[in-house]
Amino acid sequence: MDGADRNSRLYRIFRELQEKGLIDRRTRLVRCPLTVSIRGCPALNCIRYRHSFYKRNLSGASDNTLRFVLLHEEGHVRKGSSLLSALPALPVLLCLAFLGHPSLHAEGLPVAKPVFVALLLLTAFFAYRTYYRRMDDEEFIADRYAADAMRCCYRVRDPGALLQSLLSGLMAGTASPRRAGVIPGVLRSGPDYRPSISERVQRLRAAIDPGDRKPAMSSTDSESLR
């Protein structure tokens, strides 16, 4: 990380959230060219981001927007599964294992290959089904973590409005043919990702008791963020 990164607004807000205990002191903010957007990584205990993505899509965002983004990704780091990213690779690993199995190359076993293909298709189906279901659950959990923190410490009465504005702005950036597909999965909401923006906003608002939409949370809720 160079000096420009350390002094950027993104890092300043990241350190601010750490000082408040909303982001763990052990979590690192890492500039990573292999990341398409910004993602919390439980396995590595870090939040990775692509510099070009930040400059293009988030550098002009408000402080509260950046806080929500970082807190959402911290929600993934704290509450996400480090095995989730490995699920899509499971069919590939099984394919490589079976390709080297002697039964596939032995003569007189014409049933081996069709059975292998059937097993691989079933494994792929269940692996991806589990992956997307778990991914949906983690999105809602991360949204709630960020929303509770914003209500507790920054007196944001309706975090759902903040989430909707953020995701709608990011989705609008994909409308241009030159940018289409550039931001798949930022905050895990894009044309090829579920859940939808409306579903996430509705569930976030439903999770917050309408009679309790006040700037601060209870002491119990506040302690759960730390």
pLDDT of residue 114: 72
Q: Is 136 exposed, middle or buried (0-12, 13-18, 19+ CB in 10 A)?
A: middle
Q: List, as one string, the DSSP characters of 150-188.
A: HHHHH--S-HHHHHHHHHHHHHHTTSSTTTTTSSTTGGG
Per the CB < 8 A criterion, the answer to whether 179 and 191 are in contact is no
- pLDDT for 182: 38
pLDDT for position 66? 96
- Tokens of residue 154, six digits: 């920054």
Q: Which positions of the chain have pLDDT values less than 70?
A: 1-7, 81-113, 115-117, 119, 123-134, 173-194, 209-226
Q: Work out the burial of residue 173: count CB atoms within 10 Å of its CB; fewer than 13 is exposed, 13-18 middle, 19 or more buried.
A: middle
d(CA 156, CA 207): 15
Model-level pTM?
0.70
CA distance 211 to 216: 13
